[in-house]
Amino acid sequence: MNLVIKKRFAVVYNTLFFLVISFFLLYVSLNISKGKTSLSLDQFKFHYYFFISLLSILMVTLIQVYRLKRSSIYFILIYITLILFSFFFLDKDSISKVSFFSFFLLIVSAHSFFQSLVSELNEPYLNPLFTNKDLSIRSTIPVQALVYKEGFEDHVLSHAFITNWTHTGCFLRLNQKIDTRIKRVRLVFKFAKVEFENNGNIMAYSKDKLGIGICFDYNKKQEKSWSSLYELLYKLGLLPQYVT
C-alpha cells in the first residue's frame, strides 16, 4: 500500500547525508590519488559518463529513501556497490593512508546505515499488512481501539482495529476518516475487559485516510500501557499476519 509519510526519524536524514557524503568522499579520494586538488574537475571530465551515471543513481536513491520506499534498499545496495567498485579507479601506489581509512570507514558506515534503514522500513507503522484492493478487512486479534486527539480525550475521532504491531508501534484501520493534520493521538485499547492507554505520533496514513501508523511514546511508569498489552498478546501467541 502507498502511504503518505507524515513524520520521519533521524535515521532517514542521516542516511540521506551519508549517501551524499559518500559521493564526495569518493571524488576527493580519487583526486588525491591522482595528485590533484580535492575539488579538481579533471577526474570528473575523465570519468564523465561514470560520474553522471553515479549521480543519477544517487538522486533516485535519495528520493526513494526520503519517501521511505522499500525499493530504496535495492537502490542503496546498487549505489554503495558502485562506490566501492570505484575504489579500483584509485592508484593504489599513491593512495594516502587518509584515503584508505576513509574507504574503510565508508564500508563500516554503509553497513550501519543500511541496517538502520531496513529496521525502520520494517516498523509496523509503515506496513499496514493490507492493500487498497482488500474490500473487507477484519482484525486478527480481539482488541478494540479508540482514537483521540492528544489533549482532547473527551471526543473520539474514530474506532479502529490493529492490523500490524510490535512493541514500538502499530498500524490501525479506522472506521471513519480523521484529519490528517493531527500529529499526535492518544489510543485506548480494550482487551479482555481491560483498558490500555498510550500516546504516540502519527508516522504515516493511507491515502483513503482510513489507516494510520502510530509510533508509541515509551512510559515505563505507566502500568497499563501499550507495552503491557504487547507483552500479553505475545505471551498468548497473537502475532501479526496479513489480514483480508
User: Can you give the pLDDT at residue 184?
Assistant: 95
Cα dihedral: 213, 219, 222, 226 (round 10): 20
For residue 49, the enclosing domain spans: 3-122
* Domain annotation covers residue 180: yes
Domain end among 87, 122, 157: 122
Q: Is-above-0.75 flag for pTM?
A: yes
User: Can you give the pLDDT at residue 138?
Assistant: 62
The number of distinct structural domains making up the chain is: 2
Q: Give the span between the Cα atoms of 196 and 129, in whole angstroms.
A: 23
* Domain annotation covers residue 118: yes
Q: Give the span between the Cα atoms of 166 and 124, in whole angstroms.
A: 7
Query: Which CATH number belongs to the domain containing residue 162 in this structure?
Result: 2.40.10.220
Domain end among 73, 89, 122: 122
Q: Give the span between the Cα atoms of 57 and 103, in whole angstroms.
A: 20
User: Can you give the pLDDT at residue 39?
Assistant: 60
User: Can you give the pLDDT at residue 135?
Assistant: 43
Mean pLDDT, the chain cut into blocks of 10 residues (244 residues total): 90 95 82 62 63 90 95 94 76 60 83 94 92 60 90 88 93 91 94 92 93 89 87 89 60
> Are 41 and 115 members of one domain?
yes
User: Can you give the pLDDT at residue 223?
Assistant: 79
> Are 29 and 72 members of one domain?
yes
* Domain annotation covers residue 133: no
**What is the full DSSP assignment across 68-133?**
T-TTHHHHHHHHHHHHHHGGGGS-TTT--HHHHHHHHHHHHHHHHHHHHHHHHHTSGGG--S--TT
> Are 40 and 89 members of one domain?
yes
